[in-house]
Structure 1
Amino acid sequence: MLKVSIIIPAWNEEERIVDCLDNATRQTVMPHEVLVVDNRSTDRTVEIVEQYIADHPDVPVKLLHQDEEQGLIPTRNYGLNHATGDVLGRVDADCMLKPDWVEVVAGIFTEDAEAMGATGPVTYYDMPARRISLLGDDSVRRHTYRADGGQVLLFGSNMALRASAWKLIHNEVCRDKEDVMHEDIDVSLHLLGRGLKTVYSERMICGISARRMDTSFKSFHNYMRRFKNTFAAHPEHWRKHKSERTLYLMYPWLHVLFPVYQQYLESKDINPAVRIWFREQAQLARKEGDSLADLPGIDKFVDEEPTDIPGLEEVEDLAFGSDAQQSQHSSEETSKQ
């Protein structure tokens, strides 16, 4: 089986880094290595990761330091350059990988020798309607998150690429000193520019945080502009659909819903990062004879969901409605050609 490394850039991630590492290592197939690349954190991130490594000597977690330059791109590059696996997974420090993620990723690149990059759907683990969210995200990424007439764009919170592919482009990817681009799309376009194949798998699933929706509209708008800026830096590439339109539609509802739902989680003493894959992890633990399966209170992590939160139905409608509109528009455009 191909060896899968997981690279996790980290800056002030003390809140979720343990949950992230738990999910990265509670896998049906253990990753070759999990590299946490700290970038001048001023909170307890480094201390927490060091303690995690000491408490879990049987898992392949390593702590690296990228102190020369502040920023995601140099930190990401440092981790990718120091990884030793055949396949390099890249996720965020608040991402929760599904327990079969490593196995699925290894399978993708084993089954398709031409695949050089891979990505999959995500769901917000700290929001309600997670299954609906996953289905909606899968639909958007499957049909509209593309470039050059259908080539798959990788999503930085849930992506992987062959080590050999990274070696080809690592000196070419944009440094983006102004910090105005989407670094994952930049990587995607550099791969496509080399004629390398990127693929999408609905089984490559990751939970992400909706905390981006808790920012001001100005901050959110600037983040959305990164789509345009990235393609402007690559004029030889193009896209038919603008996925940010869906996010703009969802932002007002999610912006209001996020803090309300966090209050609900706190009132129930629920850690959403533990809850999201608890059922799968419990099943895995039972097979391996691990004590995780015997944890009390499993019921509170599984299938407990409020239905009376204001705005919930609207968010669900938007998750599908706007994508359906884009798909319909795509069909109409295709029929005109």
Structure 2
Amino acid sequence: MPPTPLPTVSIVIPAYNEEASIRACVTAAIFQTSPASEIIVVDNKSTDGTAGIVAAIQREHPDSPVLYFQQNEEQGLVPTRNFGLDRAQGNVIGRIDADSVIEPNWVEEVQKAFADEGVAAATGPVLYYDMPLRRFGLKADDQVRRFILKLSRDYHFLFGSNMAIRRTAWLAIRDQTCRDEGDELHEDIDLSVHLAQNDLTVAYVPTMVSGMSARRLEDSPRDYAYYVRRFERTYARHGLMNPVLRAPMWVFFAIYPLGKTIRVIRQRRLARAA
């Protein structure tokens, strides 16, 4: 009996004014041990050089499956994300941020995870590539996520910088997801809630690693707190009051002082070395 073919994987990258990071993001998606079937960049009204950089990548790698779309109807991550997910043709749709830099075996690990037909979505740990001790940070991130999973038991979180969803699962929840016109929620947590409400399984895959920027630590305490409290607002929107579900929020609050200090020191050292 022939082996079951591995699922095809599309990668969707919403982008808004990401000229500083989009080249590294798309290039990492191209150079995979198992190639993605398509890499979809959805530009949401960028006013910088994002479009030109993607066009240059397409010229440099004409055989790569890089597709560029503009989503100009609405400003916002959710409509931009939905635009890309709706157009993806892969059996599985990866969704990363424009500052994500996936590991070279990311697509391969996604395919392995979704070879299990019971997996509707998957997420993995992140490596903060612009912080010191990156591999140590990856181990710490993995351990924190495992701990949160134990606390939350059957409920698993998706992480927008490093996630994938089976196309059939996306079609099942697509019209249930929140539009978030006020930009107040965590769109990845909203996806997690709707998957759980439909009894669709989210798997945590520790080998599905993506790099991401720690630039959020540059936010002021007020802005950072507003961002982190998106957890609270998302669960409140869905009437979910279980305090365990808010564990990631408290983890993010706890790491802010030390993380910001480390990042400031690193930025100063880089400035002196320049």
Q: Where on the TM-score scale, by shorter chain, does this alignment land: which range?
A: over 0.9
- 2:135 maps to 131
Of 202, 208, 213, the residue aligned with 1:209 is 213
State the partner residue of 1:240.
Answer: 244
Instruction: State how far apart, in whole Å, the 2-side matches of 1:104 and 1:267 are.
Output: 39
Which residue is equivalent to 1:40? 45
Which stretches of structure 1, 4 residues or more, deviate above 6 A after TM superposition?
A: none
Q: Which amino acid aligns with 1:173?
A: T
Unaligned segments of structure 1, at least 5 residues: 270-337
Aligned pair partner of 1:10 in 6, 15, 31? 15
Q: C-alpha offsets along residues 112-153 of structure 1, whole Å, 9 cap, x if unaligned?
A: 211001001111100001112111111111121578643211
Instruction: Measure the CA separation in 1 of the matches of 2:151 and 2:241.
Output: 7
What letter is aligned with 1:16?
S
- Residue 263 (structure 2) aligns with: 258
Q: Are the aligned partners of 1:146 and 1:152 in contact in 2 as well (CA < 8 Å)?
A: no
- 1:49 alignment partner, one of 32, 37, 54: 54
Cα pair 1:11 1:39 within 8 Å, conserved: yes
Task: Answer whether contact 1:35 1:79 (CA < 8 A) is retained.
Answer: yes
Structure 2 Cα separation of the partners of residues 163 and 268 of structure 1 = 47
Which shifted more, 140-149 or 70-79? 140-149
Q: Which string of whole-angstrom CA distances, capped at 9 and with x for unpartnered residues, describes residues 295-336 of structure 1?
A: xxxxxxxxxxxxxxxxxxxxxxxxxxxxxxxxxxxxxxxxxx
Provide the residue aligned with 1:141 in structure 2.
145
AA aligned to 1:162 is R
Q: Deviations over 1:20-73 (max 9, x none)?
A: 111111110110110000000010001111111111101111101100000000
Count of residues in Structure 1 that have an aligned counterpart in Structure 2: 268
1:256 deviates by: 2.3
Say yes or no: does 1:152 pair with 2:156.
Answer: yes
Q: How does 1:187-226 map to 2 (within 5 A)?
A: 187-226=191-230
Which residue of 1 is the match for residue 117 of structure 2? 113
User: Match for 2:56: what amino acid?
Assistant: Q
Deviation at 1:235, TM superposition (A): 1.7
TM-score (norm 2): 0.93
**Identity among equivalent pairs (%):** 44
Q: Please show how residues 309-328 of structure 1 align to structure 2 within 5 Å.
A: none
C-alpha change, 1:88 and 1:82, in structure 2 (3 Å) is same
2:175 pairs with 1:171 = yes
Deviations 1:203-238 (A, max 9, x none): 010111000001101100000110001111112573
Structure 2: distance between partners of 1:2 and 1:239? 36
- Structural RMSD (CA): 1.6
Distance 1:47 1:147 in 2: 45
Could you tell me the TM-score, scaled by structure 1's length? 0.76
1:92 to 97, 103, 116: 97
Match of 1:161 among 159, 165, 168: 165
Whole-angstrom CA distance in 2 between matches of 1:63 and 1:249 = 38
State the alpha-carbon separation in 2 of the partners of residues 91 and 267 from structure 1.
32
Q: How many Å apart are 1:265 and its aligned residue?
A: 4.4
Q: Aligned equivalents of 1:136 and 1:180: distance in 2?
A: 28
